[in-house]
Amino acid sequence: MRIDVDGGRITGATPGSPRSGTVLTGLTLPGFANGHSHAFHRALRGRTHHERGTFWTWRERMYALASRLDPDTYYRLARGVYAEMVLGGYTSVGEFHYLHHAPGGKPYADPNAMGAALRQAAADAGIRLTLLDTCYLAGGIGVEPDEVQRRFSDGSASAWASRVSTLKEDELFRVGGAIHSVRAVPEDELSQVDDGVPGNRPLHIHLSEQRAENEQCEAATGFTPTGLLGDHGVLGERLTVVHATHLTDQDVRWLGEFRVGACFCPTTERDLGDGIGPARALRDAGVPLSIGSDSNAIVDAFEETRALELDDRLASEERGRFSAEELLEAGTHHATIGWNEVGTLAVGAGADLVTVSLDSLRTAGIEPSGVVFAASGADVRNVVVAGREVVRDGAHLLVDRPESVLAKEIEALWQS
């Protein structure tokens, strides 16, 4: 198959053509979309997994890490993380970004300095970035932000929207919005965040990740988190709910009725003991599915994608919950983070390609349709993003030895 590319788009696809130009040997797929990332959580990998406790005790370690970051350290860490994502098969990432200000909540001279650091890190790593700039105003329902959380807050939804409005997009950078959760944005400001994001850009929210969140929301408002969003007019096609782990049957019906998307982050949800969300039921209700690396405990597009099926098997005690086609559709669903033109190998689509080796120890002898179950990020040989070659023969062309970059930055963070 000859694929012609011009201006970052696929302009032709001709089967049976002689080999010429850049030869991609293996199975070539559309690039994968990482629908939900917290880049700085990567520094927690291998440092918290053995600890007993809950999501809430893990969060204290995460907050301690957040307090150590500034724009320069965040840029260096994120550049390594984004390079790791490209090597693992992702060509776009939605960064759920709430680490906005200096310690104590004082804005930097550039109020978007931390977002700018992420933007530059993604550009230097060669990945598409959607900055899901996150509104985070409270430390819980009816609770003021604590010392660390003040870094996350703009004080009001209107102030948050004003800051975000100054961000400018470019070829590989887009801006969306996020409500951190129903815990972190007061009920009377939910619709203001919705209104603060342009209508053609994505809006995300952490939803029903923990049972305690549901219990607190129902006690305070009389609604489940999904019902509360519906009551304030936030449910809609541009909304993606992240995790969606503990839903009622009515929640599932509402999400399907409004064509809300759902982003599952299976390795993080396992790591934090969140539970297993109703992926198959949501898909059957009409909810588009996507995947994300979230805490970046693992960065591997194939691992997250197949986990939709494997975790659902554990919950249902049945095999064959999703077809390979459905899994790849979820894994390459870039529209959830606003890259509607990416995710297919078709004329006019964005030229994001991932080529996977079919002769590694993991993939030798498989049928091509089984690649999502057999391959890992280590089998990614070539990656093209918007027509630009970023990975060749398993090596990143823009960031030299990302593993060394990450080791150096993470060690420095924990020693600071």
CA-based diameter of the chain, in Å? 66
Task: Give 350's strand partners.
Answer: 9
Angle at Cα 172 formed by Cα 171 and Cα 174, nearest 5°?
A: 95
Contact at 8 Å (CB) between 300 and 377? yes
327, with CB counted inside 10 A (0-12, 13-18, 19+), is buried
Contact at 8 Å (CB) between 30 and 92? no
Question: How many whole angstroms separate alpha carbon 224 and alpha carbon 249?
Answer: 11
Tokens read off for 285:
């209700």
Question: How many whole angstroms separate alpha carbon 349 and alpha carbon 341?
Answer: 5
Cα–Cα separations (whole angstroms), residue 28 to 7, 19, 68, 313, 357: 20, 15, 40, 28, 9
How do beta strands 203-207 and 173-179 pair? parallel
76, with CB counted inside 10 A (0-12, 13-18, 19+), is middle
41-43-49-51 Cα dihedral, nearest 10 degrees? -100
Question: How many whole angstroms separate alpha carbon 204 and alpha carbon 193?
Answer: 11
Of 141, 146, 222, 246, the closest CA to residue 189 belongs to 141
Quote the distance between the C-alpha of residue 413 and its chain's center.
Answer: 23
Tokens read off for 314:
């554990």
Q: Show which residues are catalytic.
A: 243, 294
Q: Hey, which bits of 190-243 come out as E strands?
A: 203-207, 239-243
